[in-house]
Each structure stands twice: as structure tokens, then as C-alpha cells.
């Protein structure tokens, strides 16, 4: 896998948008790092592109998955081995002792050796060549040499080249399928890392917002207590201010717990070795902001998804494998008829060299014939062929169904991107209006025309709107990531290239 270069453009702040959020979020990485260093454990400072690269380098599940294409490649090599030449050799020793039941009067020793070569061709042809030599010693020595060449050609079953290459082609398809599986896994991993990164950023921003709101609530409580002391407010007003402080503290506890859980989730994906180390805190450099992305019409994205989605390409390859199995089982319906021809010559002499010269090809033994094998009912072959035909039809229907699901996924993802983009603008407007409402309520409280409870409610509304605005930005970024994954373009958009074997 080549080192990915991740385009940071979608993560850059957009001028004029979410100014308050970006300004507050810009110091969060430094604050988190300083807090971690004060606690004795330096924070892990990462940007979005670094988090993705760390996951591609360190993720343990990816390390497991990336070996699968290499494993499948071994099956392809094993299938090709059926057409590799095979060399065979042998040696034997035999001794015959004289006894009352034998006419031999002396001990006879026989030593023999043989060498053979066998080659199976994709055409259904089997070639065999063998040579052997034997030395027999007793009263004297006698040498024998023999050479033989045979050819067996399938005439019906096993004859077409396409049939004999089915195993090789299916193994090759399995290797390609595993490569698409790896691509889909990497896409899901990258999307998961980006989701986790933005969840961490959102959780961190929520902690900052709640801390700020707690500070405001405590300031409000002090103001109420001071005004009660001077007699400008009744003592009943302090209860609402105290309750608001308690609520903000509860919210801060929950926000910090959610941040810790989000950090663990991102570390598990990007830096699993850090889970057993001292560094658990993260300082995130990339701030969430709405990217300037122009998406085309739905049809163009659907066409891209139909061409690039890994799961769809896997389904196409499985349908192709079903076609190959149909070829194999159709050939199995034919009877087996083989033509064989064998040529052999033997020579005997008192020496090894003379015996070899006797194998001169003049007195060649020739045998030829045809063998036929035809099961009467052939129910097993017919059942396999029907099963292959039904499976092929099932795969074709599954492929068409998957194409429909891809179209729905892409169009639904595009709708979600558009929805979240509109929500960003809507939540920004809501936050501005809630801030205006809080300023008005605070002004009224300053002149005695409002209560601490109404001010606290207005502060809660501002807090909710601030969190909602940040949440809308993060959900829009996550919707974009999901959409790119659904159309199969996430890796290209992030500059990640998968090499051979993953």
C-alpha cells in the first residue's frame, strides 16, 4: 500500500461561517495538550489525515484482512499446479535364492531403476514418457532397457480447454473477490476513523460549551446572591440559580465521560497500542467546518457507484464464477471417452550399453484403443448441473437486487447530505436568535423585569443551540463521508491507493 496523501480541503474552516464556534474550538487542542502535560501524560496530537494514516498503518483488524488476497493467491497457484510436469523415479532390488521348488541353481540378484515424466495439458491431453533399466546377475549378467511413450486424449468429457481451466479461473476470481473485500474493508475503516474523529471533536466541543455555561451559571448565582444581600431580589430567586448550577455540573460530568469514551473509540481504530500506554488523551488539530463541496446530479453519482462499489464488483465476480461452474457441470453430463496410444521398445544384452542400443525403434510395440465410461442414470452429474444452473440464476437475481439497493443508497445518502447542510444554516440561525433572547432576558433581569429562572432557561436554550450547531456541522461531515463511501469514491477522494495484495 502506498502512503496515502489525504486532501485536507474538506476540513478547512469556511470564512464567515460559525465564527464563534471556530474561534472557541481553535484553542481546544492547545488547552487539551496543556492539561494532559500537567497531568504527566502528553496528549497525542493528531489531525484528521494523520488519524486516517495511523489507522491504515496500525489497525489490527486491517492487518488481518490485508493478508486475505495473499492467501487466496496461493489457491490460484495451487490450481495452476495441475498442469505442471511431474517427474517420477524409482529403484528396486530383488534377490531369488535357490530352493527345491525353483529351477534356479544359483542366487539371482535383480536391480532395476526407472525414470518418468508426466504432463497434463489444458486440452485434455495426458502425455507420459518413461525409461527403465534392469540388471539381472546370476550365472552371468543380463541387462534390459525399456522406453515407452503414451498419449491419452479425452474426446468428450474433459476435452474443452475452458473446462480444464475452470479451477484456475475460479481461483483467480476468488483472488479478485478478496481484493474487493479488502477495498471495502479499507473504505469502512477510513469512514469509521473519520466518524470517530468528528465524534471526538464534537464531544470535546460539548465539554468546552458546558464548562463555559457552568461558568456563566456560577457567575449568575453570585450575582443573584449579591443582589439578595442588597435587597434588590427576594431570597426565592437563589433556588433557581443554584438548581441551574447543579444541572450544569451534571451535564459536565456526562460530557467528560462521553469525551473519554470517544477518545477510546478513536484510539482503538487509529492507535491501538496507545490503549495499553500512558497516553490516552488526544489533541485534535483539525476543526470541523462546512466544506465547500459541489455535488453533481444523483444520476452521475449512481453511475459512479455502479462502477466502483466493492460489494457490487464482488457480486459480479461471483456471477462470473457461477458461469464457470455451469461450464464444468455441463461437461460432466457427457460420457468419458478417451483415446490412448502407447509406443514402447525393449532391448536385452550382456552389457548396459548394448541393451540401450537395442532400443532402436525398429521393433516398437504399439497399442492403441478407446475407452468409454458412461453411467447409466448419471443422476449425480445431472443434479450438480441443475444446482449450478439454479445457483447461477440466483446470483443474477442477487446482482440485480444489489444494483437497486446501490441506487437507493446513493440517492438516500445524497438527500442526507443536503438535509444536514440545510441543518447547519438553520442551527446557526437558531443559535444567534437564542443568544439575542438571552441578552434581552439578561437586560430585563438587570432592571428587575425578569427572574433568575427565566434567565437560566434562556441560558439553557443557548447551550442547547450551541451544541446543536456543532452537532449539525459534525453530522454534515459524517454524512459526506458516508455518501462518498456509498458511491465508492472515498479512497480516491482521500488520495489512498491500494496496491497489489492490499
Greatest CA separation found in the chain?
Answer: 141
Tell me phi and psi for residue 357, to 5 degrees: -65, -25
In a domain, 228, yes or no: no
Overall average pLDDT of the 327-345 stretch: 87
pLDDT digits (tens, 9 = 90+) for 393-436: 999 999 999 999 999 999 999 999 999 999 999 999 999 998 89
Evaluate if residue 501 carries a pLDDT over 70: no
In a domain, 92, yes or no: no
CA distances from 71 to 56, 78, 218, 373, 501 (A): 20, 11, 63, 38, 9
Q: Which residue has the higher pLDDT, 137 or 38?
A: 137
Evaluate if residue 312 carries a pLDDT over 70: yes
How far is the C-alpha of 347 from the C-alpha of 265, rounded, in Å?
80
C-alpha cell at 35: 492539561
3-state secondary structure of 110: strand
In a domain, 198, yes or no: no
Cα 216 to chain center, whole Å? 48
Evaluate if residue 204 carries a pLDDT over 70: yes
What DSSP line would sit under 231-270, residue for residue? TSS-TTHHHHHHHHHHHHHHHHHHHHHHHHHHHHHHHHHH
Q: Provide the domain count of the chain.
A: 1
Evaluate if residue 24 carries a pLDDT over 60: no
Evaluate if residue 38 carries a pLDDT over 50: no
* Per-residue confidence band for 86, with pLDDT thresholds at 50, 70 and 90: very high
The pLDDT assigned to 14 comes to 30
The pLDDT assigned to 357 comes to 60
By residue count, the chain amounts to 502
* Per-residue confidence band for 22, with pLDDT thresholds at 50, 70 and 90: very low
Q: 10 Å Cβ neighbour count for 239?
A: 12
pLDDT digits (tens, 9 = 90+) for 375-402: 888 888 899 999 999 999 999 999 999 9
Q: What is the mean pLDDT of the chain?
A: 82
How far is the C-alpha of 18 from the C-alpha of 170, rounded, in Å?
55
The pLDDT assigned to 5 comes to 35
In a domain, 394, yes or no: yes
In a domain, 417, yes or no: yes
Evaluate if residue 342 carries a pLDDT over 60: yes
What DSSP line would sit under 16-34, residue for residue? TSSHHHHHHHTTHHHHHHH
Packing angle, helices 452-486 and 379-446, rounded to 10: 150
In a domain, 159, yes or no: no
Q: Which residue has the higher pLDDT, 92 or 96?
A: 92
* Per-residue confidence band for 1, with pLDDT thresholds at 50, 70 and 90: very low
Which span out of 59-68, 338-347, 458-467 was modeled with the highest average pLDDT?
59-68
The pLDDT assigned to 19 comes to 31
Give the rounded percent of residues in the chain with a pLDDT score beyond 70: 84
pLDDT digits (tens, 9 = 90+) for 171-195: 999 999 999 999 999 999 999 999 9
Residue 400 domain boundaries: 305-335+380-491
The pLDDT assigned to 29 comes to 41
pLDDT digits (tens, 9 = 90+) for 470-490: 999 999 999 999 999 999 999
Of the ranges 31-45, 52-66, 109-123, which one carries the lowest mean pLDDT score? 31-45
3-state secondary structure of 371: strand
In a domain, 368, yes or no: no
Of the candidates 67, 310, 291, the residue with the CA atom closest to the CA atom of residue 183: 310
CATH of residue 409's domain is 1.20.1600.10
Of the candidates 333, 341, 330, the residue with the CA atom closest to the CA atom of residue 374: 333
Cα 218 to chain center, whole Å? 51
In a domain, 403, yes or no: yes
pLDDT digits (tens, 9 = 90+) for 243-292: 889 998 999 999 999 999 999 999 989 888 877 766 667 888 888 888 88
The pLDDT assigned to 27 comes to 33
How far is the C-alpha of 173 from the C-alpha of 168, rounded, in Å?
9
Amino acid at each position: 500500500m502506498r502512503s496515502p496523501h489525504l486532501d485536507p480541503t474538506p476540513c478547512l474552516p469556511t470564512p464567515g461561517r460559525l465564527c464563534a464556534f471556530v474561534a472557541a474550538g481553535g484553542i481546544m487542542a492547545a488547552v487539551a495538550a496543556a492539561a494532559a502535560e500537567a497531568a504527566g501524560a502528553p496528549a497525542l496530537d493528531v489531525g484528521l489525515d494523520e488519524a486516517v494514516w495511523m489507522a491504515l498503518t496500525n489497525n489490527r483488524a486491517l492487518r488481518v484482512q490485508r493478508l486475505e488476497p495473499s492467501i487466496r493467491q496461493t489457491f490460484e497457484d495451487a490450481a495452476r499446479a495441475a498442469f505442471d510436469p511431474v517427474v517420477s523415479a524409482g529403484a528396486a532390488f530383488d534377490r531369488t535364492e535357490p530352493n527345491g521348488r525353483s529351477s534356479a541353481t544359483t542366487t539371482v540378484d535383480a536391480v532395476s531403476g526407472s525414470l518418468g515424466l508426466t504432463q497434463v495439458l489444458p486440452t485434455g491431453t495426458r502425455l507420459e514418457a518413461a525409461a527403465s533399466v534392469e540388471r539381472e546377475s546370476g550365472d552371468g549378467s543380463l541387462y534390459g532397457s525399456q522406453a515407452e511413450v503414451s498419449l491419452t486424449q479425452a474426446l468428450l468429457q474433459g476435452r474443452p480447454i475452458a473446462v480444464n481451466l475452470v479451477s484456475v479461473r475460479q481461483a483467480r476470481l476468488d483472488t479478485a473477490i478478496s481484493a474487493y473485500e479488502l477495498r471495502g474493508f479499507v473504505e469502512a475503516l477510513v469512514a469509521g476513523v473519520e466518524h470517530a474523529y468528528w465524534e471526538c471533536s464534537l464531544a470535546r466541543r460539548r465539554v468546552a460549551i458546558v464548562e463555559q455555561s457552568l461558568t456563566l451559571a456560577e457567575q449568575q448565582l453570585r450575582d443573584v446572591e449579591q443582589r439578595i444581600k442588597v435587597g434588590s431580589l427576594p431570597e426565592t430567586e437563589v433556588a433557581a440559580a443554584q438548581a441551574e448550577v447543579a444541572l450544569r455540573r451534571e451535564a459536565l460530568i456526562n460530557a467528560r465521560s462521553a469525551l473519554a469514551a470517544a477518545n477510546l473509540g478513536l484510539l482503538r481504530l487509529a492507535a491501538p497500542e496507545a490503549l495499553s500506554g500512558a497516553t490516552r488523551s488526544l489533541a485534535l488539530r483539525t476543526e470541523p467546518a462546512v466544506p465547500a463541496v459541489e455535488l453533481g446530479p444523483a444520476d452521475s453519482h449512481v453511475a459512479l457507484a455502479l462502477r466502483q462499489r466493492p460489494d457490487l464488483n464482488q457480486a459480479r465476480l461471483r456471477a462470473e464464477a457461477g458461469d464457470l461452474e455451469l461450464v464444468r457441470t455441463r461437461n460432466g453430463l457427457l460420457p468419458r471417452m478417451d483415446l490412448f496410444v502407447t509406443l514402447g521398445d525393449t532391448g536385452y544384452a550382456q552389457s548396459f550399453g548394448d541393451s540401450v542400443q537395442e532400443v532402436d525403434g525398429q521393433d516398437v510395440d504399439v497399442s492403441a484403443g478407446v475407452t468409454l465410461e458412461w453411467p447409466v442414470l448419471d443422476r449425480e452429474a445431472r443434479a450438480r448441473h441443475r444446482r449450478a444452473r439454479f445457483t447461477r440464476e440466483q446470483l443474477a437475481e442477487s446482482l440485480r437486487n444489489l444494483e437497486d439497493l446501490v441506487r437507493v443508497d446513493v440517492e438516500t445518502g445524497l438527500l442526507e447530505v443536503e438535509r444536514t447542510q440545510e441543518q447547519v444554516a438553520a442551527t446557526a440561525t437558531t443559535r444567534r436568535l437564542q443568544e439575542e433572547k438571552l441578552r434581552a432576558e439578561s437586560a430585563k433581569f438587570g432592571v428587575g423585569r425578569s427572574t433568575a429562572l427565566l434567565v437560566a432557561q434562556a441560558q439553557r436554550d443557548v447551550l442547547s443551540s450551541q451544541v446543536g450547531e456543532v452537532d449539525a456541522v459534525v453530522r454534515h461531515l459524517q454524512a459526506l463521508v458516508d455518501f462518498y463511501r456509498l458511491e465508492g469514491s472515498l479512497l480516491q477522494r482521500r488520495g489512498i491507493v491500494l496496491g497489489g495484495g492490499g
